[in-house]
């Protein structure tokens, strides 16, 4: 039976955008990555730091194209994109599909060759899932967030509880099949 929240579940969950095995994704045919910025790569409002710049250099060296998809305005997104040599879309209206589709056009990819990395279920993950993009949910980098995000995090906790329960059940079923 399908869960009420299934359209909100990430395809994968990682502790950090910095720990994703990007080489493995490249080998599987992924060529473009769409990123959220705030609390995915740096704390809210922070500029691109050395770690972010190094990550994007590594990604570009591997052959990935990258784009930031943000609901923030140009003064926030453009400097981050320039520092990491990435494309960007600001005021994207996540989780609406059009921003994700435009990002893929900018990357020259389709959903099968695109990853999405973000920290919020109701904007980042839901939008990517609706477009058929493989999405990776990361833990927020910093606990300090705007009040509207804090309220959404409480709802996200319910979704994640159901997601983790489902994943545990699947692991148990898979291990029983191997016996």
Alpha helices in 63-146 (DSSP H): 74-83, 97-107, 126-130
Q: Where are the domains of the chain?
A: 6-177
4: pLDDT confidence band, cut at 50, 70 and 90?
low
Q: Token pair for residue 100?
A: 């994700």
22: pLDDT confidence band, cut at 50, 70 and 90?
very high
Predicted pLDDT at 24: 98
What are 131-171's pLDDT values in tens digits? 999 999 999 987 666 666 667 777 788 878 888 788 888 77
Of residues 59 and 154, more confidently modeled: 59
Mean pLDDT of 80-87: 98
Residue 23 CA to residue 60 CA, distance in Å, equals: 11
Q: Which residues, listed in sequence order, are joined to residue 66 by a DSSP beta bridge?
A: 33
Predicted pLDDT at 175: 65
Residue 1 CA to residue 51 CA, distance in Å, equals: 42
1: pLDDT confidence band, cut at 50, 70 and 90?
very low
Tell me which fold the domain 6-177 belongs to: Rossmann fold (3.40.50)
Put simply, whether the predicted model's pTM sits higher than 0.85 gets the answer yes
């Amino acid at each position: 039976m399908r869960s009420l929240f299934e359209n909100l579940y990430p395809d994968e969950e990682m502790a950090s955008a910095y720990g994703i095995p990007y080489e493995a994704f490249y080998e599987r045919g992924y060529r473009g990555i769409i990123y959220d910025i705030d609390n995915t790569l740096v704390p809210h409002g922070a500029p691109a730091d050395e770690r972010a710049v190094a990550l994007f250099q590594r990604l570009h060296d591997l052959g990935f194209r990258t784009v930031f998809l943000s609901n923030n305005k140009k003064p926030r997104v453009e400097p981050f994109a320039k520092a990491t040599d990435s494309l960007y879309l600001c005021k994207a209206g996540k989780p609406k599909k059009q921003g994700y589709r435009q990002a893929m056009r900018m990357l020259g990819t389709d959903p099968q060759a695109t990853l999405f990395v973000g920290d919020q279920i109701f904007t980042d993950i839901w939008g990517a899932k609706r477009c058929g993009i493989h999405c990776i949910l990361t833990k927020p980098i910093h606990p300090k967030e705007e009040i509207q995000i804090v309220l959404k995090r409480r709802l996200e906790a319910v979704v994640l509880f159901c997601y983790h329960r489902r994943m545990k059940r699947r692991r148990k079923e898979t291990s029983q099949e191997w016996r």
